[in-house]
């Protein structure tokens, strides 16, 4: 019988590295520099982001929601510096709960894996892939505009034919509700220089991009599913209740925000 190991828990190499780096910083006296704290905090956040990305979500290897937030916080200033657009897409599996309820969670996992493979094979190596939660997947496209995001969304839809999920001899049809949006940093550069970006500005831009992609995917689900909606402009409503009211009572107004791609 194997002996039970009651020793200390093994530390991850990344944790050992961080601890050693903190000791080095203390010895060198860098932590007394008033300008050092924010730089050190950014280093730790970057390392933790890489660690979370390496671990992935356990099923697809996609980054969790906190990695999505961290990557947006890093890519937004980079987009401002380079003047390049930044695109985001959300992918929801239509009626995902039905797969789990009817066939079991193992089949539900197979569905997510199939969608994940379609997303991975539709994006570039430099793009970022996420699973914010449940059946919601996402991708972040540096240096891509709305047209680029729409191209990726179309590829994902087409690629679903390449990854069938079967129960016995029966092929299960899988459809997706997708929402895409983009952000043009030139709008921000007219009034804010890259060096003057504050965490509050970056957080506001990040929140707006996330809300636009989420509402675009939501609009797709509320209008028949199995499609792609693009957020084409305008400040997003404060909440989904207001968004629902606009879709129901002012569909003409919604055309200034959204466009059905497919």
Shared domain check, 63 and 51: no
Q: Is the domain of 161 the same as that of 250?
A: yes
Asked if the structure places residue 2 within a domain, the reply is no
- The larger pLDDT score, comparing residue 193 to residue 262, is at 262
Checking if the pLDDT of 202 tops 50, the result is yes
Question: What whole-number percentage of the chain has pLDDT above 70?
Answer: 75
Cα 130 from Cα 123, distance rounded (Å): 12
Question: Whose CA is closest to 122, among 95, 87, 71, 98?
Answer: 87
- Both 137 and 22 in one domain: the answer is no
**In the prediction, which pLDDT does 252 show?**
85
Q: Does a structural domain hold residue 5?
A: no
Helices (H), the chain: 13-28, 36-55, 65-82, 96-103, 105-120, 146-159, 186-189, 199-222, 240-249, 251-254
The pLDDT value given to residue 253: 81
Cα separations (Å) of 255 from 5, 31, 165, 185, 187? 63, 53, 36, 23, 22
Say if residue 131 is in the same domain as residue 38.
Answer: no
> Does residue 18 share a domain with residue 103?
no
Q: Examine the domain organization and report whether 201 and 116 are in the same domain.
A: yes
Q: Which of 203, 151, 199 is CA-nearest to residue 178?
A: 151
Domain assignment of residue 4, yes or no: no
Same domain, 126 and 229: yes
Predicted pLDDT at 29: 46
Q: Give the range of the structural domain holding residue 135, as residue numbers without chain letter.
A: 59-260
Confidence category of residue 14, pLDDT binned at 50, 70, 90: low
Q: What is the pLDDT of residues 62-90, one digit of tens each?
A: 999 989 999 999 999 999 889 999 999 99
pLDDT digits (tens, 9 = 90+) for 97-121: 999 999 999 999 999 999 999 999 9
Higher-confidence position of 151 and 191: 151
Total domains in the fold of the chain: 2
pLDDT per position as a tens digit, 139-159: 999 999 999 999 999 999 999
Nearest to 89 by CA among 157, 21, 31: 157
Pairing of strands 176-183, 227-231: parallel
Based on the domain organization, do 36 and 76 belong to the same domain? no
Q: The whole model's pTM is what?
A: 0.78
pLDDT in tens, 233-250: 888 887 888 888 888 898
Q: Which residues pair with 231 in a beta bridge?
A: 258
Whether residue 177 contacts residue 221, with contact meaning beta carbons closer than 8 Å, is answered with: yes
């Amino acid at each position: 019988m194997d002996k039970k190991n009651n020793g200390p828990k093994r530390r991850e190499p990344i944790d050992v590295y961080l601890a050693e780096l903190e000791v080095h910083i203390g010895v060198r006296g860098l932590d007394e520099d008033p300008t050092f704290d924010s730089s050190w905090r950014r280093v730790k956040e970057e390392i933790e982001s890489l660690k979370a990305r390496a671990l992935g979500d356990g099923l697809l290897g996609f980054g969790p929601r906190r990695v999505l937030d961290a990557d947006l916080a890093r890519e937004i200033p980079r987009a401002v510096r380079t003047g390049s657009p930044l695109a985001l897409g959300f992918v929801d599996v239509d009626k995902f709960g039905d797969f789990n309820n009817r066939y079991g969670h193992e089949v539900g996992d197979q569905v997510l894996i199939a969608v994940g493979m379609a997303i991975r094979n539709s994006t570039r190596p430099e793009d970022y892939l996420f699973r914010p939660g449940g059946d919601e997947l996402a991708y972040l496209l540096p240096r891509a505009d709305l047209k680029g995001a729409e191209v990726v969304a179309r590829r994902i839809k087409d690629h679903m034919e390449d990854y069938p999920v079967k129960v016995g001899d029966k092929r299960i049809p899988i459809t997706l509700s997708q929402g895409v949006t983009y952000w043009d940093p030139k709008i921000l550069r007219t009034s804010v220089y890259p060096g003057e970006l504050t965490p509050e500005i970056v957080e506001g831009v990040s929140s707006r991009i996330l809300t636009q992609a989420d509402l675009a995917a939501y609009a797709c689900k509320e209008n028949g599913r199995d499609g792609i909606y693009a957020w084409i402009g305008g400040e997003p409503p404060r909440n989904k209740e207001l968004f629902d009211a606009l879709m129901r009572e002012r569909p003409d107004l919604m055309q200034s925000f959204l466009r059905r791609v497919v």
